[in-house]
C-alpha cells in the first residue's frame, strides 16, 4: 500500500491545462536562455585571459587551451562543462568525465 502511495501518476500532455503547459514551456525557455548566456560569459572570460576556447558539442561545452603571455601553449587542453543551478550531468557528459579524468572540469554559475 505504501509503495502505491509513493509513486506519482504521470500527467499526460492532453490532461494538462493550457496554463500549466504555458508555464512549463516558459520555464524551460528561460532555463535554456540562462544556460546560453552563462556559456557566453564563460567563453568571454577565458578569451580575455588569453586562452584558446573551442566549442564542442558532445560530452562538454568547451575545450580550453591555456596560453602564456607570448601565446605559447601551457599544459594539456581541458574540457569544460558549464552548468547553472542544480542541473545534473547527462550520460554522455558522465562518460566523458570518466574518460578524461583530470582534464574535465564542471563549472557552476
Identify the CATH number of the domain in which residue 45 sits: 3.40.1350
Q: 37-84 pLDDT, tens per residue? A: 999 999 999 999 999 999 988 778 899 999 988 889 999 999 999 999
Q: Give how many domains the chain has, as a whole number.
A: 1
> Where does the pLDDT of residue 12 fall: very low under 50, low under 70, confident under 90, or very high at 90 and above?
low
- Within the chain, strands assigned E span 52-55, 62-67, 73-83, 104-108
Q: In which element (H, E) is residue 18 found?
A: helix 18-48
- The answer on pLDDT for 11 being more than 70 is no
Query: Is residue 9 one of the residues assigned to a domain?
Result: no
Residue 67 placed within a domain: yes
User: Which residues constitute the domain of residue 77?
Assistant: 17-108
**Domain for residue 102, yes or no?**
yes
Question: Is residue 87 in some structural domain?
Answer: yes
Q: What is the pLDDT of residue 2?
A: 53
Residue at 49 is within a domain = yes
Amino acid at each position: 500500500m505504501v509503495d502505491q502511495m509513493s509513486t506519482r501518476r504521470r500527467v499526460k500532455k492532453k490532461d494538462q491545462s493550457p496554463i500549466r503547459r504555458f508555464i512549463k514551456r516558459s520555464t524551460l525557455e528561460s532555463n535554456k536562455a540562462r544556460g546560453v548566456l552563462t556559456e557566453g560569459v564563460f567563453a568571454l572570460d577565458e578569451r580575455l585571459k588569453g586562452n584558446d576556447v573551442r566549442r564542442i558539442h558532445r560530452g562538454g561545452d568547451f575545450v580550453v587551451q591555456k596560453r602564456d603571455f607570448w601565446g605559447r601553449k601551457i599544459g594539456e587542453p581541458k574540457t569544460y562543462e558549464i552548468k547553472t543551478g542544480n542541473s545534473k550531468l547527462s550520460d554522455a557528459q558522465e562518460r566523458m568525465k570518466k574518460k578524461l579524468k583530470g582534464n574535465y572540469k564542471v563549472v557552476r554559475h
